[in-house]
C-alpha cells in the first residue's frame, strides 16, 4: 500500500468499468452478502423464541393486533411486525418468534450496509481511482470491511437488540442504510442521479421516524457530506454553516414536522370549530388540503422554473412526510379503541400529547433547578383542551414551576428529586443532607460536572462502549468492563463463571483507535463526519437524556448507533495496521494476508466467547412467569400489577396467546391517567368492566392527582369508604380545604377506613374457607395511615368499595409496599398474587397462606420451560423478580404446610422448587438459603447440607474477595446474612456440629469485615 499524499483528491465515479473495478465491485457485493449470511445465521440461531422482558411483550402484542404502544409509538415497526406475524400461519405460540425474526433480518441488513460503508471509506483512505486499485489493495479494503462488520455483528449491545422484538434492531438498519446511501451519493457525478439519492435518503428518514427518532441525529453529519462534495475548497466557516444547516433540518423534522404539523393543524382546527361553529375535524381537513396543495405547487413551480436545489429540497420534504405518514396508523387504530391504546391518541388533542411524550414530563438541559430545589410559585403553562358542546374548551393549564435562582444552575446534571435520587446524589458527591433533604454545604458547578463526567459519561456511556469493545465483567446490574490484564485469580466462582464475563483484551478497541489515527492523517474530513456521527449517537445523546443517578435497567441499547460508528473505525484500523507494518514486511500479499487473517480472529473470539450469553433459543420464562401470575388468580379476577416486566408479558400472554383473558390486568403505573381509567371501565375479552364509580370529571387530567391527608377531629376515628368515594364524586365541601390560590382541594380527613360487609353474601360466594369464616365481621376496618391518596390509590379504593366482594381482587407479589394500601394483613397468598379478603388474619403482616389453594397453583398450574436447563442463559432480569417471586412462593407454601403438620407435602414443595429452578441453572440466592431450615425440619439433612455447602462456599469466596478488593460491610451484608441463616437453621434443629462448621466461616469474616 502506498503512502497517501493528497488527502482531498477526488474519488472517481463507480460508473467507470475497468476490469479491476468490476472485479472489486463483484467481490464487494459477494463478501457483503456472505457477511449478511453470517449475521443472519448467528441471530437466527440465538433469537428469542417468545416475548422477552421489558418492551418486547408490548411491541409483539401491539404488532399482532395493530394496537397502540407507549408514546411516541413505532407505527412502521408495528406494521412490519404485523406482516412478519402472519408467517406464524395461525399458531399464536409462534407469533413472538416471527416478530423477533424481524429484528434478526433488520440487524443482518445493518451488517451488510456497515460492510459496504467501511469499504467505501477504506477506498478513500487509499486515495486511488477504482481502476488503479491493485489486487492486494482490493483485498485489504475488503478485509478491513469484513473485520469491522464482524466485530459489530458479535458486539454485546447490537447482538442483544438483534434477537428480540425491540425497535433498536430496525433503527440500526435505518441508520446503516441512510449513512451508506449518503456516502454512496457522494460518489455519483451525475447531478440528476445524485438528487434521486437525496430524495431516497429523505424517504428513509421519514420511515425511520415510525421506528425510533435516533436516526434523526445523523442529519448534521450528513449535511457535512453534502458540503464537502459541493465545495472543493471547504473552509472552517463554510463547514460550520453546513453543520448549522444540518442542525436546523434536524430541528425542523424533530420539532417542526413530528409534533409541529399536528400542533398547527390543531390551531387551525380550533379556529374553524370555535369561531365558525363547524364540525370537529373540519380544520384538520382544511389544513391538510392547504399544506399538501402548497407543497405540490412548490414542487411543480420549482421544476418549471428550473430550480433544482429548491425542487430537490421540496421533494425531499414530501418524501419525509410520506415516510412519516405511517403515523396515520396510530390515529386509525386508536379510534377503534383496542385493548392496548396508550394515551388514546384518537384525536388531534391526544395525538399531539402522544407525539410530545408529555406523560413522561421533561428534564432541564441548559438551565434549571437542582435536586434539592422546591417550587416557590407556579404559573399557567400551555392550555389543556377538551371537547365540549361542539367546541374545544380549556379545562386546565400545564403548571410551570418557579424556583429560587440560587437553587438553579447552568447545565443542570444533578436535578432529579424523584424516589431516592437525592440520597444517591448525596452519597456519590459527598453532599451531606439535613432532615429536610437540603444540602449542608454549597452545591457547586464542580459537583454538577463531577456527576456529569464520572457517572453520566463514565458509568452510563464509557462503560457501555468498553463492554462492547474491551470486555464485560458480568451481567449483574452495574457491572464494569474488563481490561487485558484483568485476572480471574481469586475472583469468586459465581463471578468468574458468569456467562456474560467476556474479556476481549481491548483488541477491538485498539483497532478502533488505530482507525481514528489513520483517518485523522489521511482523510480528516471523513474523520469529522464519522466523529460527529459517533458523538451525536453517543455522548450528545447522553447529554440530552440527562441520566438520573439510577435507572430501572442498563441503558446500553440506547447508544447502539454510537457503537456502529466505532465499528467503522475498527475496520479502518485494519488498514492502519497494514500500512504500519509496511516497513517490516515488504511483500504486500504477505502483509495484507497476515494482518487481515489475524484481525479476523478478533471477531471470531468475540463470537465464541459471547455465544453463551446471547443465545436465547431455549429461554421461555418471561412468558411462563406471566402465565404463572395469571394462574395465581381465580376466574374473572382483577389483578393489580406494577412495572413493565409485570405488565408487558401479561399483555402478550392475553393478547397474543389468549391465555386467561378473564383476568383484568390493571397497571398501577398507568392508573393515574384518565385514558387508562376509561379503558378499565369497559369490557375486554372475557373480563367485565372494572367496578369504578368515579366519573371522568373526577379523574380527568389534573383532577385528584393527589388528595392530601388532613386530619379532621370529627372523623378522626374513621370514615366509611363508600361514603368517602361518594363525597369525592360530588366534590363535596365536607372533605375540602382552601388552597392559597383560592381554589379548593379534596382531602383525606382520617387515616382509618371502614367498609360494611354483607356476611351472608360473602358466605354464599364461597371464596372464604370455613376455617376463616369466623374472622369475617360486619365491618372491615383498617388503618390506611397518615399518607396522601394518589390517583391510582383512589381508583383502587373505589374498586374495593364498589366491587362489594363480587369479583376477586388480587395484588401481584412484585408490587412495592405502598401499593398494598396497608391491607397486607387482609390478604391471602395464592401463588404469585395476594387476594384481598374480607377479614384480618392475626399476625399476618405479610399476608397469610391458604395452603390448599396455593399448593394447587404452585404444583399443578405453573410453567417452567427450560428453567432447569444449565445451557439456558438467564441474566440479571430473570434472576431478579421472576426467580425471587417463585422461590418465595415455594418457601412460604412449604413453611405453611410444615406449620400445619404436613411435612411430606412441605418436602415435596421444596423439592419441586429445587427441580424446576436448580442451582446449576439459577444459582442459589438468599431465599434458597431459607430452604435449609425447612429441609432440616422435615428430615432431609442431605439436601439441606448440600445447599448449605454450596451457599457457604460461595459466601466464603465472595467475602474473601471483598476484603481483598477493599470492600466494606455493606457489600458483605448479603453473604453474611446467608451464613448467619445457615448457622441458625442448624442450631435450631440441634445440628450443633454442622452449626459450628458454618459458624467458623461466619465468624472469620464477621471479625475481618465487621
pLDDT above 80 (res 94): yes
pLDDT above 90 (res 148): yes
**What was the pLDDT predicted at 16?**
41
Q: How many CA atoms does the CB half-sphere of 588 hold within 13 Å? A: 12
pLDDT above 50 (res 5): no
Residues in the chain: 1010
- Distances, alpha carbon 724 to alpha carbons 77, 430, 702, 734, 756, in Å: 46, 46, 20, 10, 13
Mean pLDDT for the chain overall: 91
Cα angle 145, 148, 154; round to 5:
135
**What was the pLDDT predicted at 970?**
66
pLDDT > 90 in the chain, percent: 72
Handedness of CA 885, 886, 889, 891 (dihedral sign): negative
pLDDT above 60 (res 18): no
Phi, psi dihedrals of residue 444, rounded to the nearest 5°: -110, 170
**What was the pLDDT predicted at 10?**
42
CB 705 within 8 A of CB 790: yes
Strands 638-641 and 809-812: parallel
pLDDT above 70 (res 20): no
As given in the structure block, the three cell numbers for residue 652 are 402478550
CB 506 within 8 A of CB 469: yes
As given in the structure block, the three cell numbers for residue 935 are 429441609
As given in the structure block, the three cell numbers for residue 100 are 423477533
Cα angle 210, 212, 215; round to 5:
105
Give CB contacts under 8 A, 24+ apart, made by 766-771. 767/634, 767/805, 767/808, 767/835, 768/837, 768/838, 768/839, 769/850, 769/852
Least confident of 373-377, 483-487, 844-848: 373-377
The span from the CA of 794 to the CA of 798, in Å, is: 6
pLDDT above 90 (res 15): no
Highest-confidence range of 222-226, 641-645, 728-732, 916-920, by mean pLDDT?
A: 916-920
Q: Read off the pLDDT of residues 352-409 as tens digits, 9 standing for 90 and up.
A: 888 888 777 777 888 999 988 888 887 888 888 888 889 999 988 888 888 888 888 9
Kindly list the domain boundaries of the chain, sorted by start residue.
Answer: 188-331, 362-443, 621-915, 924-1010
pTM of the model: 0.92
CB 246 within 8 A of CB 219: yes
Alpha-helical segments (H) within 127-210: 135-153, 156-162, 167-186, 191-209
**What was the pLDDT predicted at 2?**
43
Q: Which residues of 401-425 are buried (b: 16+ CB within 10 A; e: fewer)?
A: eebeeebebeebbbbbeeeebbebb
The span from the CA of 117 to the CA of 124, in Å, is: 11
pLDDT above 80 (res 955): yes
Q: How many CA atoms does the CB half-sphere of 301 hold within 13 Å? A: 8
Strand ranges inside 938-1005, DSSP E: none
Phi, psi dihedrals of residue 753, rounded to the nearest 5°: -110, 150
Q: Read off the pLDDT of residues 714-753 as tens digits, 9 standing for 90 and up.
A: 887 899 999 999 999 998 988 888 876 667 889 999 999 9
The span from the CA of 534 to the CA of 563, in Å, is: 7
Average pLDDT (190-205) is: 91
**What was the pLDDT predicted at 8?**
40
What is the band of 17 on the pLDDT scale with cuts at 50, 70, 90?
A: very low
pLDDT above 50 (res 640): yes
The span from the CA of 921 to the CA of 306, in Å, is: 69
**What was the pLDDT predicted at 741?**
65
As given in the structure block, the three cell numbers for residue 88 are 406464524
pLDDT above 60 (res 118): yes
DSSP 296-364: HHHHHHHHHTT-HHHHHHHHHHHHHHHHHGGGHHHHHHHHT--S-BTT---SHHHHHHHHTTGGG----
Number of Cβ within a 10 Å radius of residue 250: 18
**What was the pLDDT predicted at 588?**
86
Amino acid at each position: 500500500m502506498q503512502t497517501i499524499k493528497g488527502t482531498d483528491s477526488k474519488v472517481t465515479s463507480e460508473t467507470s468499468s475497468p476490469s479491476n473495478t468490476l472485479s472489486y465491485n463483484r467481490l464487494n457485493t459477494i463478501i457483503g452478502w456472505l457477511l449478511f449470511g453470517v449475521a443472519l445465521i448467528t441471530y437466527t440461531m440465538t433469537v428469542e423464541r417468545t416475548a422477552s422482558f421489558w418492551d418486547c411483550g408490548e411491541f409483539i402484542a401491539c404488532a399482532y393486533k395493530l394496537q397502540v404502544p407507549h408514546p411516541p409509538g413505532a407505527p412502521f415497526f408495528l406494521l412490519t411486525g404485523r406482516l412478519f406475524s402472519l408467517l406464524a400461519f395461525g399458531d399464536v405460540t409462534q407469533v413472538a418468534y416471527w416478530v423477533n425474526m424481524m429484528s434478526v433480518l433488520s440487524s443482518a441488513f445493518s451488517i451488510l450496509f456497515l460492510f459496504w460503508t467501511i469499504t467505501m471509506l477504506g477506498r478513500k483512505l487509499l486515495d486511488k481511482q477504482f481502476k488503479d486499485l491493485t489486487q492486494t489493495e482490493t483485498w485489504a479494503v475488503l478485509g478491513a470491511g469484513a473485520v469491522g462488520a464482524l466485530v459489530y455483528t458479535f458486539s454485546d449491545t447490537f447482538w442483544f437488540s438483534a434477537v428480540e422484538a425491540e425497535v433498536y434492531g430496525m433503527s440500526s438498519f435505518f441508520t446503516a442504510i441512510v449513512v451508506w446511501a449518503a456516502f454512496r451519493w457522494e460518489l455519483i457525478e451525475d447531478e440528476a442521479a445524485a438528487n434521486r439519492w437525496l430524495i431516497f435518503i429523505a424517504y428513509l428518514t421519514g420511515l425511520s421516524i415510525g421506528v425510533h427518532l435516533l436516526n434523526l441525529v445523523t442529519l448534521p453529519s450528513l449535511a457535512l457530506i453534502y458540503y464537502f462534495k459541493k465545495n472543493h475548497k471547504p473552509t472552517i466557516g463554510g463547514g460550520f454553516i453546513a453543520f448549522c444547516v444540518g442542525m436546523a433540518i434536524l430541528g425542523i423534522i424533530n420539532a417542526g414536522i413530528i409534533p409541529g404539523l399536528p400542533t398547527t393543524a390543531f390551531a387551525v382546527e380550533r379556529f374553524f370549530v370555535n369561531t365558525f361553529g363547524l364540525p370537529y375535524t373540519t380544520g384538520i381537513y382544511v389544513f391538510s388540503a392547504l399544506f399538501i396543495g402548497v407543497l405540490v405547487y412548490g414542487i411543480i413551480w420549482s421544476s418549471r422554473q428550473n430550480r433544482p436545489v429548491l425542487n430537490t429540497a421540496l421533494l425531499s420534504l414530501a418524501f419525509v412526510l410520506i415516510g412519516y405518514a405511517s403515523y396515520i396508523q396510530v390515529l386509525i387504530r386508536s379510534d377503534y379503541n383496542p385493548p392496548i391504546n396508550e394515551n388514546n391518541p384518537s384525536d388531534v388533542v391526544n395525538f399531539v400529547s402522544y407525539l410530545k411524550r408529555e406523560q413522561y414530563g421533561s428534564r432541564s438541559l441548559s438551565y434549571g433547578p437542582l435536586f434539592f430545589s422546591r417550587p416557590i410559585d407556579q404559573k399557567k403553562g400551555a392550555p389543556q383542551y377538551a371537547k365540549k358542546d361542539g367546541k374545544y374548551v380549556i379545562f386546565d393549564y400545564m403548571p410551570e414551576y418557579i424556583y429560587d435562582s440560587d437553587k438553579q444552575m447552568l447545565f443542570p446534571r444533578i436535578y432529579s428529586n424523584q424516589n431516592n435520587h437525592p440520597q444517591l446524589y448525596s452519597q456519590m458527591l459527598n453532599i451531606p443532607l439535613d432532615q429536610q433533604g437540603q444540602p449542608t454545604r454549597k452545591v457547586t458547578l464542580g459537583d454538577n460536572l463531577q456527576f456529569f463526567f464520572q457517572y453520566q459519561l463514565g458509568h452510563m456511556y464509557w462503560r457501555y462502549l468498553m463492554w462492547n469493545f474491551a470486555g464485560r465483567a458480568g451481567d449483574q446490574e452495574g457491572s464494569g468492563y474488563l481490561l487485558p490484564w484483568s485476572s480471574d485469580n481469586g475472583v469468586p466462582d459465581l463471578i468468574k463463571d458468569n456467562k456474560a464475563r467476556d474479556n476481549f483484551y481491548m483488541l477491538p478497541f485498539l483497532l478502533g483507535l488505530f482507525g481514528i489515527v489513520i483517518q485523522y492523517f489521511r482523510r480528516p474530513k471523513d474523520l469529522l463526519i464519522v466523529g460527529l456521527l459517533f458523538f451525536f449517537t453517543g455522548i450528545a445523546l447522553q447529554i440530552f437524556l440527562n441520566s438520573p443517578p439510577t435507572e430501572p435497567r442498563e441503558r446500553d441499547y440506547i447508544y447502539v448507533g454510537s457503537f456502529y460508528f466505532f465499528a467503522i473505525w475498527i475496520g479502518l484500523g485494519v488498514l492502519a495496521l497494514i500500512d504500519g507494518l509496511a516497513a517490516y514486511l515488504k511483500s504486500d500479499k504477505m502483509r495484507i494476508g497476515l494482518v487481515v487473517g489475524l484481525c479476523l480472529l478478533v471477531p471470531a473470539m468475540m463470537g465464541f466467547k459471547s455465544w453463551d450469553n446471547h443465545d436465547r433459543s431455549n429461554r421461555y420464562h418471561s412468558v411462563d412467569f406471566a402465565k404463572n401470575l395469571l394462574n395465581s388468580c381465580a376466574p374473572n379476577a382483577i389483578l393489580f400489577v406494577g412495572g413493565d416486566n409485570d405488565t408487558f408479558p401479561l399483555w402478550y400472554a392475553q393478547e397474543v396467546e389468549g391465555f386467561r383473558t378473564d383476568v383484568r390486568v390493571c397497571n398501577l403505573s398507568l392508573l393515574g391517567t384518565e385514558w387508562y381509567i376509561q379503558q378499565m371501565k369497559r369490557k375486554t375479552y372475557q373480563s367485565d368492566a372494572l367496578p369504578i364509580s368515579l366519573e371522568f370529571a373526577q379523574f380527568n387530567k389534573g383532577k385528584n392527582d393527589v388528595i392530601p391527608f388532613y386530619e379532621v377531629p370529627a372523623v378522626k376515628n374513621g370514615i366509611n369508604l363508600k361514603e368517602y368515594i361518594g363525597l369525592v364524586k360530588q366534590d363535596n365541601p365536607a372533605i375540602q380545604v382552601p388552597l392559597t390560590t383560592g381554589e379548593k382541594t379534596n382531602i383525606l380527613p382520617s387515616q382509618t377506613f371502614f367498609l360494611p360487609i354483607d356476611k351472608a353474601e360473602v358466605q354464599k360466594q364461597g371464596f372464604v374457607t370455613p376455617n376463616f369464616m369466623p374472622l369475617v365481621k360486619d365491618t372491615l376496618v383498617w388503618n390506611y395511615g397518615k399518607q396522601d391518596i394518589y390517583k391510582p390509590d383512589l381508583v383502587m379504593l373505589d374498586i374495593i368499595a364498589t366491587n362489594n366482594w363480587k369479583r376477586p381482587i388480587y395484588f401481584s407479589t412484585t408490587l412495592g409496599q405502598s401499593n398494598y394500601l396497608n391491607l397486607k394483613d387482609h390478604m391471602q397468598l395464592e401463588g404469585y398474587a395476594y387476594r384481598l379478603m374480607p377479614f384480618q388474619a392475626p399476625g399476618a403482616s405479610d399476608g397469610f397462606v391458604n395452603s390448599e389453594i396455593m399448593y394447587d397453583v404452585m404444583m399443578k398450574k405453573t410453567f417452567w420451560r427450560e428453567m432447569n436447563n444449565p445451557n439456558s442463559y438467564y441474566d440479571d432480569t430473570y434472576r431478579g423478580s421472576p426467580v425471587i417471586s417463585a422461590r418465595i412462593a415455594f418457601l412460604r407454601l412449604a413453611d405453611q404446610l410444615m406449620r400445619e403438620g404436613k411435612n411430606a407435602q412441605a418436602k415435596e414443595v421444596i423439592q419441586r422448587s429445587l427441580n424446576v429452578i436448580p442451582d446449576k441453572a439459577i444459582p442459589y440466592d438468599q431465599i434458597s438459603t431459607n430452604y435449609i431450615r425447612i429441609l432440616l425440619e422435615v428430615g432431609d439433612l442431605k439436601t439441606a447440607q448440600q445447599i448449605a455447602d454450596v451457599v457457604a462456599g460461595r459466601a466464603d469466596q465472595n467475602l474473601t474477595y471483598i476484603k481483598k478488593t477493599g470492600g466494606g460491610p455493606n457489600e458483605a451484608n448479603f453473604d453474611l446474612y446467608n451464613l448467619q441463616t445457615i448457622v441458625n437453621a442448624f442450631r435450631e434443629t440441634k445440628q450443633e456440629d454442622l452449626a459450628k462448621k458454618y459458624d467458623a466461616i461466619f465468624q472469620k469474616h464477621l471479625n475481618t469485615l465487621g
